Amino acid sequence: MSDHVTAVVLAAGAGTRMKSAKAKVLHEIGGRSMVAHALAAVSGAGISSTVAVIGHDREQVSTHIISLDPAVVLAVQEQQNGTGHAVQVALAALPSAPTGTVLVTYADVPLLTAETLTAFLAEHAASGRAVTILTAELDDPTGYGRIIRDTSGAVIAIREHKDASEDELQIPEVNSGILALDAAFLTDALAGLRTDNAQGEVYLTDVIGIAADRGLPVGAHVLEDVWQTEGVNDRSQLARLGAELNRRVTEHWMREGVTIVDPATTWIDSAVTIGPDTTILPGTQLLGATTIAASATIGPDTTLRNVEVGEGATVIRTHGSDAVIGANATVGPFSYLRPGTELGTKGKIGAFVETKNARIGDSAKVPHLSYVGDAEIGEGSNIGAGTIFANYDGVNKHRTTVGKHARTSSNNTFVAPITIGDGAFTAAGTTIRNDVPAGALAVGNTEQRNIEGWVAAKRPETPSARAAAQSKQESQETHAQENGE
């Protein structure tokens, strides 16, 4: 933006109605904390200078804000003496007095968008006003400050709910708390704010009256989308705004060419991206930085967090995190992809398979009932049902490498570290403890040996021992009857 804008994000409130050990502004909707939504809106509006006012739970909030954007200036409001005091604290924390415009917004209005802020600031700059207020008209304005206009329609004051007269309480237009102010005017006006009100606090909204008394222009930018001005004070409101945000996100992706069969049971975080002609089936959650390429099918009953899904892939009834699924690959049902899983093009991770820190090559398959941890499986190889990659010796993790086009049989155990060569086979029920050369067949079975009476000797007086004794007695009686004894 051509006009320099300093954003002040107010995040110092106690949030007692959340009844949480976590700071209010750190509670999440759409995969982001509320303060992260606020900072994203400010950043998206092209504002490069931001100061956040923190107070309650400052250690939590400051650490989180720094992780989001280290350039944000932090200002500590030791005592919460009102919004005017908070802005005084914010400006005092800046290295120099602000110029141009100061935008004041809040960390607990998570649906406010960058597009709205851009339009709001553009109108303020074009109008030459001292103050522009972001307002909305509500069916039930209880609790909000009312916009007071004169007979010509000009804004002359904002009256807080507790200070409003009966006539003023009937006004439907309310103050969102979000203001754009001329920086020079604001700096001067803040010094004149008083605490003679019902709350005994320094109200930022009193600068409206100061501007009006000086004959300076004050206007309002009326926002029809009232959801964007709604704040969060408790968990019920958090859930309500979370549901509305999710409705907007799913609506956006459907308009971008994504089929979402049941938006009511589909949850998509704000940072997720989805390609066209993808189908999202009911009960699906796409979380974090998940990316879905075109023409994929996800769900039903699938949760993916920070997962990259390739074009044309199918993921059914799967839980995955920090994983990569290649193009035209298939996953599920009932698969568990843990961090570090990479499945190649046309690969398969099938039913009841768990993977972790495993690279599974193009067209390689782990079809069912297996655990694959700390492994590399080469192109075109097939892992038999019930196979365990025994990667942990009780102290350290070890890696197993399976070469290209290998065929391992059912109920194998691979005791890492080992390498199974290209084109090698393994026999069913084999425990592999040593490397298998390329093209070899590994057979680990020995002749079965039965130790008679072991249970009676080693596990006496157990249900197993009693069942065995009963069976032996019945067998003896049957033998006697058959032989006429």
Active site residues: 368
User: Which of these, 176, 86, 81, lies nearest to 133 by C-alpha position?
Assistant: 176
Phi, then psi, of 87 in degrees rounded to 5? -70, -35
Euclidean distance between CA atoms 123 and 128, whole angstroms: 9
Contact 135, 219 (CB under 8 A): no
Token pair for residue 332? Answer: 């599920």
Euclidean distance between CA atoms 234 and 228, whole angstroms: 17
What is the secondary structure of 4-70 as a DSSP string? -EEEEEEE----GGG--SS-GGG-EETTEEHHHHHHHHHHHTT--EEEEEEBTBHHHHHHHHHHH-T
Relative orientation angle of helices 34-44 and 58-68, to the nearest 10 degrees: 40
The amino acid that residue 45 corresponds to is: A
SS3 category, 320: strand
CA dist 360 to 216, 370, 403, Å?
Answer: 68, 13, 10
User: Which of these, 368, 366, 369, 401, lies nearest to 380 by C-alpha position?
Assistant: 366
